[in-house]
Structure 1
Amino acid sequence: MGSPADVAEKADRIITMLPSSPNVLEAYTGSNGILKKVKKGSLLIDSSTIDPAVSRELANAVEKLDAVFMDAPVSGGVGAARAGNLTFMVGGMEEEFTAAQELLSCMGTNVIYCGEVGTGQAAKICNNMLLAIGMIGTAETMNLGIRLGLDPKLLAKILNMSSGRCWSSDTYNPVPGVMEGVPSSNNYQGGFGSTLMAKDLGLAQNSATNTKTPILLGSLAHQVYRMMCARGYAQKDFSSVFQFLREEEDL
């Protein structure tokens, strides 16, 4: 099959997962997009992380073709994907949630209904903003401790049995050698790229502007990851912010 339209012609259950809003729009509404040949009654689930307004726009277009669209962005990273225990945040018609849940449960252990179309995206954007803030905080903390003469493994152990513990410290530590099986111990290869984190933080910034919501740390995190992308970290895992901070100090 050479195009999304070809897939839509043969399947009535389609899941898409693409990097950004323009990619999703092209896959659905492009000259060879899904909507060119979508069947009536088809269930279309988009697990990309995109602007909630784009999800709502697609839902309206799909509804006119007598099909169903749901947004279901995903969280958990490469490790959870390999283990099949991702988390899906689903937005759409509640009466269609059971059908979506059956499909998504093949890849995730947590499939959560969030509300109307776009609310899945809202939940994912909020989650990733907090993730970025937490990772920067963990990287800064680990770097300070190392500069003060602490062994990074010891510091991580103390943090993880204390009130500073978070996912970035106990599951995805950004310091090389502290944990095995995470990108920081593989030259920050694999995982969730800094360019994608910058994109998600941009979505958070846009949403905050539209809703007149102050996101002081979220905005700073967006600036940090945009700067990292301009400094050669775009394809490295987002935990490479630790390496970025070390380089900044050495300037």
Structure 2
Amino acid sequence: MTRVAVIGLGNMGGPMAVNLASAGHQVQGFDLSAPARDGVAGHGVTIAADGRAAVAEADVVITMLPAGAHVLACYQEILSAAAPDTLFVDCSTIDVSSSREAHALVGKAGHRSVDAPVSGGVVGATQATLTFMAGGDAGAVAAAEPLLTVMGKRTVHCGGPGAGQAAKICNNLILGISMIAVGEAFVLGERLGLDHQALFDVASTASGQCWALTTNCPVPGPVPTSPANRDYAGGFASALMLKDLGLALTAAGENGVDTVLGRTAAQLYTEFVEKDGPSRDFSAIITDIRSEERTHGQH
């Protein structure tokens, strides 16, 4: 049994905390949101009075927070309350610079740290099938892995501090761009009179094969579990895709990489989120591709 503090009990952190408790670990959780706290209460997670109280007796501290500023502020508040050599595992998706700064803060306070952003969404968090992209010292990653295995199905050690975040934003840069390409192909197929299933059957077994097509197909039918079959409810929210594209563009700018397709994808998702709302699955961008405005070339 490991004593674990989980700070950030939202759509991702909440199910992760519950899975740890279900596996027999002693879990103390905290979130500024009362509904988030209420969501895990009664599922084996003890709610702490605040973040410092949550980490005071923890062996491992897991954070799942919205942005780098939140992680840094949280660490500045809680690090001095933790016992020496506590392991801090940040599962948030944040910018690489903030992640490296967080590692430095943890090390200066006498603790160990891992950045371990996730892939798999709310379904993966609930079903404990997440993939973790880990960055940090090999010993710290090895120490975190038993808990990561409870919450997910795979951990990839990507390198030193911040490498997990780097892998996450590079992966989602690919994903955001490829979903737009898949959406454009299906809309073109529709105009050419091509059946959705026929296009899927060809592309999914030919050179157009990709995750955006075979797992998260943006049209209903070919992949029954894709959000397109639920009017794009659930899945990976468009606002989160836009956030990750922004992180990728920031990193690209800081490192002199001209991501032409990344900039274009971010622009298209910005416009889509502004007029369609941020909560629909990112594959719903096909509805914007299909719209009269896009068809008539106003973008």
Say yes or no: does 1:173 pair with 2:217. Answer: yes
Q: How far apart, CA to CA, are the structure 2 residues paired with 1:159 and 1:238?
A: 20
Q: Does 1:40 align with 2:84?
A: yes
* AA partner of residue 53 (structure 2): D
Alignment of 1:23 onto 2:70: yes
Which AA in structure 2 matches 1:208? A
CA distance in 2, matches of 1:78, 1:151: 31
Distance across 1 between alignment mates of 2:125 and 2:207: 29
Counterpart residue number, 1:245: 289
Q: Does 1:162 align with 2:219?
A: no
Of 163, 169, 173, 1:129 maps to 173
Query: Does the residue aligned with 2:183 lie in a helix, a strand or coil?
Result: helix
- Aligned pairs for 1:7-86 (under 5 A) are 7-29=54-76, 33-86=77-130
The runs of at least 4 consecutive aligned structure 1 residues that moved more than 6 Å come to none
1:139-158 aligned at under 5 Å gives the runs: 139-158=183-202
User: Are the equivalent residues in 2 in contact too, given 1:193–1:237 (CA < 8 A)?
Assistant: yes
1:23 CA drift (Å): 2.5
Matched, 1:209 2:256: no
TM-score, L = length of structure 1: 0.93
Distance 1:45 1:145 in 2: 45
Residue 36 (structure 1) shift:
4.2
What is the Cα deviation at residue 187 of structure 1?
A: 1.3
User: Could you tell me which residue of structure 2 aligns to residue 190 of structure 1?
Assistant: 234
Give the number of equivalent residue pairs: 248
Give the aligned residue type for 2:242.
A
| SS of aligned partner of 2:155 | strand
Higher relative contact order (CA 8 A, sep 6+): 1
AA at the equivalent of 2:210: C
User: Aligned-pair distance for 1:233?
Assistant: 3.0
- Cα RMSD over matched residues? 1.6
Instruction: Give 1:40 deviation, angstroms.
Output: 0.9
1:154-176 superposed Cα distances (whole Å, 9 cap, x missing partner): 21111112111111111110113
Aligned-residue offset at 1:77: 2.8
SS in 2 for 1:149: coil
- Unpaired runs of at least 5, structure 1: none
TM-score by length of 2: 0.79
Structure 1 residue matching 2:56: 3-state secondary structure:
helix
8 A contact 2:113–2:140 mirrored in 1: no
Q: How far did 1:249 drift?
A: 4.0
**Percent identity (aligned):** 42
- Matches of 1:79 and 1:178 in 2, distance apart? 20
Q: Judging changes above 3 Å, is the alpha-carbon distance between structure 1 residues 37 and 111 closer, same or farther for their aligned structure 2 residues? A: same
